[in-house]
Amino acid sequence: MTLPGWKELPEGAVVREPGNTVTISTGEWRVFKPVIIDEKCTRCRLCWIYCPDGTIIEVDDPNAPLGKRYEVDYEHCKGCGICWKECPVNAIEWVPEER
């Protein structure tokens, strides 16, 4: 990677693409990964609430119970395990990563 010189940098080192850390993958940090078992999931939304990284995704799905489903954004999920601990019905399994 060649770094830009100071003349090429935007004034004030402003970042012009809001939220562009989304292009960085933090999924590789995981040692364990959360796996949501959809049949067990009651759609209580607590994993989505408590995930610090916002990597539980709430997906509208007219065919799913209550019209939605929860998925993990594995590109960014860091594997902290909070969703797994907080799921009240143990619908999230904690599975070792294999790479």
Partner 1 sequence: MALKEVGPMEPIRTHMQIPREELIAPGHSACQGCGHFIIVRHLLKAAGPNTIVVNPTGCLEVVTTVFPYSSWKVPWIHVAFENGGSVASGVEAAIKSLQKKGILPKDERINVVVFAGDGGTVDIGFQSLSGMFERRHKVVYVLLDNEAYMNTGIQRSGSTPYGAWTTTTPVGKRWKGEWRVRKDMMQIAVAHHVPYAATINPAYPVDMYNKMVKALKAEGPAFLHAYSPCPTGWRFDPSLTVEVARMAVLTGYWVLYEYDHGNYKVTVPVLKRKPVREFVKMQGRFRHMTEEQIKKLQEIIDEQVEHINKLVGKTVIGPVVEEQKK
Give the residues lining the site for partner 1 (CB under 8 A): 13, 15, 17-26, 29, 45-46, 49-55, 58, 66, 73, 76, 78-82, 84-86
Long-range CB contacts for residues 42-50, cutoff 8 Å, separation at least 24:
42/88, 42/89, 42/91, 43/68, 43/70, 44/87, 44/88, 44/89, 45/70, 46/86, 46/87, 46/88, 47/83, 47/86, 47/87, 47/92, 50/82, 50/83, 50/86
Region from 2-10, 17-25, 59-67, 77-85 binding ligand SF4, contact rule CB under 6 A = 77-85
**Which option in partner 1, ligand SF4, none does residue 89 bind, with CB closer than 5 to 8 A by kind?**
ligand SF4
**Which option in ligand SF4, partner 1, none does residue 15 bind, with CB closer than 5 to 8 A by kind?**
partner 1
